[in-house]
Amino acid sequence: MTTANSAPVTITLTTNNQTSGWQQDKTLQISNEGIAIYLEQDSQFRLRKIQMAARSIEKLGVAHAQLAGDDWDEASQWAFALGFSCVNKLESITFCGAAELVERLNNKLAVYAWSRDLTNQTPAELYPLKLAELTSNYIKNLAPAHVKTRLIQGKALQDEQWQGIYNVGKGSVNEPCLLELDFNPSNDENTPVAACLVGKGITFDSGGYSIKSSAGMFDMKCDMGGAAVVAGALALAIKQGLAQRVKLYLCCAENMISNDAYKLGDIITYKNGVTCEVANTDAEGRLVLADGLLAASETGAPLIIDAATLTGAAVLATGGDYSALFSLDPAAAAKAHNAAKASNEALWQLPLEPWHQDKCPSVFAETANSRTQKGGGAGGASNAAGFLSRFVNNEGAGWLHFDLAAAYNADATSLWAAGATGLGIATIADLISTP
């Protein structure tokens, strides 16, 4: 067997023991020919076990995995890819099978690698305008004839009434911005927008004056994970032949403390007239997403999807193993569940009703952005989704909110390396690809 800094290691998948002695019946069976992943026929949680095996193989020091044999189908190869890939090793896999299958998996792996690497970058490398620039360049390169972008930054945000992004980001030396990216394969300006994607792009979150602890702040480079996921979803859909018009909105800012920073008790008046009292400057994600949802709603798109690393409450509820889904539209939620199942991505719907809008009351404004209890109090993830629902049209018809509890791992687990996971990309790409 070869390991780091050497030739690729051949990895086979089998339902037959490849060795005898102490390795017999072990999931990983190592020989001079390579490594076999042994699973019994009809093994329960098969894909999960493959992903765990891949994580173990990577930790052996294998630099490049070459999958081989007839037992690898598309789902099992992708499960292996998710487990094996890690920082500095995001595309170190050779897939097997028909040329069309290999191309599809390589395209998917490339998008996930781009999105995960984007999320893993340091706050010094990835400030708001840089996030917008890298995203614009990447997606333009995929379809240069069909992509147009518009960037609104700094004081221009206030002039155009994108008050959430402006207020959250005004305390940083790095200007906040709103990126609008229009993928229009028809190149006809009159073509209806079929779907809008909105991503939270907080490139660093100190918590503002509701400052986080050092431990709580350490991984906050990942707070733009929602932007990376929706951008990745659009990129993947384009690679897979997306044929309808989709707009992408990234709400980009740094949440910092300075003499210009927004404060507790400030009131933000949004473009639709909703007034919001700032009860917690660390509940900033929903403040910037509100602008993105308003912009998306202006297009009249029948499908609006936002994604964000929004609440610790969603992580507590799901254990960080699932993305949390919120919707006021049962039909749209059902489509999301079907897309997640087809993509083998874990998704769990949490409660959301119209009355969740009233869960963060304010004496001085129509709503507050949170409550003053730790973590926003009970039901924090649903209350955040309720806040967002104020900024979509048609009583939430066609709107899906993904709270990305599984987007990033501070430490390695049995399934994932430390860092961004990219979970949600395939599900959202599927949703925007279906007329």
Q: Residues 250-261: what's their mean pLDDT?
A: 98
∠ CA 316-321-327, nearest 5°, is: 75
Answer yes or no: are the C-beta atoms of 194 and 302 closer than 8 Å: yes
Average pLDDT over the chain, rounded to whole?
95
Q: Determine the average pLDDT of the residues in 234-244.
A: 98
**Given 46, 140, 148, 212, the catalytic residue:** 212
SS3 103: helix
Name the helix (H) or strand (E) containing 195: strand 195-205
pLDDT at 2: 44
- The mean pLDDT of 418-435, rounded to a whole number, is 96
pLDDT at residue 100, as a whole number: 98
What is the average pLDDT across 18-23?
Answer: 74
* Residue 92: CA count within 13 A, CB half-sphere: 24
Report the pLDDT averaged over residues 189-195: 98
Select from 87, 93, 17, 25 the least CA-distant residue to 62: 93
pLDDT at 4 over 60: no
3 has pLDDT over 60 = no
The answer to whether the beta carbons of residues 129 and 175 sit under 8 Å apart is: yes
132-150 per-position pLDDT tens digit? 999 999 999 999 999 999 9
d(CA 125, CA 54): 30
Q: Which residues of 190-220 are buried (b: 16+ CB within 10 A; e: fewer)?
A: eeebbbbbbbbbbbbbbbbbbeeeeeebebb
Angstrom distance (rounded) from CA 155 to CA 140: 26
Contacts of 380 (CB under 8 A, 6+ apart): 311, 312, 313, 370
Identify the pLDDT of residue 1.
46
- Which phi and psi (to 5°) does residue 146 adopt? -125, 10
pLDDT of 360-406, one tens digit each?
A: 999 999 999 999 887 777 889 999 999 999 999 999 999 999 999 99
Active site residue 286: yes
pLDDT at 354 over 90: yes
Q: Nearest CA to 134 among 147, 112, 115, 153?
A: 115
Comparing CA positions, the residue from 277, 287, 418, 429 lying closest to residue 345 is 429
Separation between Cα atoms, residue 48 and residue 37, nearest integer Å? 12
**Could you report the per-residue pLDDT of 59-108, keeping only the tens digit for each?**
999 999 999 999 999 999 999 999 999 999 999 999 999 999 999 999 99
Inter-residue contact 348 to 318 (CB < 8 Å) = yes
Given 286, 335, 359, 390, which residue is catalytic? Answer: 286
Report all structural domains of the chain as residue ranges with CATH numbers, in order of start.
9-97 (no CATH), 117-433 (3.40.630.10)
Residue pointed to by tokens 């360049």: 137
Backbone angles phi, psi at 290, to 5 degrees: -55, -40
Whether residue 5 has pLDDT greater than 70: no
Q: Would you say 60 and 29 are in contact if contact means Cβ atoms under 8 Å apart? A: no
Cα first-last separation, the chain = 48
Q: Is residue 342 helix, strand or coil?
A: helix
Cα distance between residue 363 and residue 345, in whole Å = 41
The reply to whether 116 belongs to the active site is no
pLDDT over 70 percentage in the chain: 99
Q: What confidence score (pLDDT) does residue 217 get?
A: 97
